[in-house]
Amino acid sequence: MQRTLVLAKPDAVQRGLIGEIIGRFERKGLKVVGLRLLHVSRELAEEHYAVHVGKHFYGGLVEFITSGPVAAFALEGPDAIAVVRRMVGKTMPNEAEPGTIRGDLGVSGLRNLLHASDAPETADSELALWFGADALVHYAREIDAWIVAEEPTRT
Ligand code: CMP
């Protein structure tokens, strides 16, 4: 089971898309294990986007993510990192496939609605950064047996 971080960026919050976005992940079968709505400090933004320091769009990224409230979700499920990235779609909404969140809801590269962790190492560090070590919730759902099948044992 994997955990991953999703941020609904200020454009998604301003457009009233938090429910639509989180609903897509819930309907997929992913479990919400963390939820926060926050104004992002410059310090948090700079730490989150540290890998992009020096790129031409870095300044704009920090400006944008601090421009209004952000909704942060932690999601759990089998192969959650890749599943979420596929659902989010390509970075540039004008290139993202219909059926993906960016493909369905976005049109401009600079307003791409979401961030999603791209690998297990980044998911771990981003979840720690946005939620802290102990803030995620552990719980079982009865419906999980209908969503996640046990792997058959090989004989
Ligand atoms: P995000 O997933 O938040 O992480 C890095 C962000 O950089 C990405 O979403 C885009 O918003 C942004 N980004 C990536 N490439 C470019 C680019 N060429 N020009 C502008 N922004 C970019």
| 112 pocket-lining for ligand 1 (C-beta < 6 Å) | yes
Q: Pick the more confident residue, 30 or 153.
A: 30
Residue 117 Cβ inside 6 Å of ligand 1? The answer reads no
Name which residue sits closest to atom 6 of ligand 1, judged by CA.
61
pLDDT in tens, 39-77: 999 999 999 999 999 999 999 999 999 999 999 999 999
Residue reference for tokens 């999601």: 75
Q: Judge whether 71 and 8 are in contact, CB under 8 Å.
A: yes
Q: Order of strands, edge to edge, in the sheet holding 31-38?
A: 31-38, 70-77, 2-8, 114-116
**What integer pLDDT is reported at residue 110 of this predicted model?**
86
Q: How does residue 134 score in pLDDT terms, banded at 50, 70 and 90?
A: confident
Question: Does 115 qualify as catalytic in the annotation?
Answer: yes
Nearest to 4 by CA among 98, 130, 141, 145: 130
Ligand 1 atom with the shortest distance to the CA of 65: 3
Question: How much distance in Å is there from the Cα of 79 to the middle of ligand 1?
Answer: 23
Q: Is 8 helix (H, G, I), strand (E, B) or coil?
A: strand
Ligand 1 centre to CA of 60 (Å) is: 9
Cβ of residue 61 lying under 6 Å from some atom of ligand 1: yes
For residue 111, report the distance from its CA to the centre of ligand 1, in Å. 9
User: Tokens 């909404």 belong to which residue?
Assistant: 93
What's the pTM value of the predicted model, to 2 decimals? 0.94
Rg of the chain over Cα atoms, rounded to whole angstroms, equals 16
How big is the CA angle at 32 (ends 26 and 37), to the nearest 5 degrees?
110
The atom number, within ligand 1, closest to the CA of 118 reads 2
**SS in 3 state form for 28-70?**
HCCEEEEEEEECCCHHHHHHHCHHHCCCCCHHHHHHHHCCCCE
pLDDT in tens, 8-49: 999 999 999 999 999 999 999 999 999 999 999 999 999 999
Q: Has domain 2-138 been given CATH number 3.30.70.141?
A: yes
Confidence of residue 106 (pLDDT cuts 50, 70, 90): very high
Alpha-carbon 123 to chain mean position: 9
Q: Please state, in angstroms and rounded to a whole number, the distance separating the CA atoms of residues 48 and 62.
A: 9
Distances (CA, A) of 62 to 10, 39, 47: 12, 12, 10
- pLDDT (tens digit per residue) in 80-94: 999 999 999 999 999
User: Cα of 91 to ligand 1 centre, how many Å?
Assistant: 7
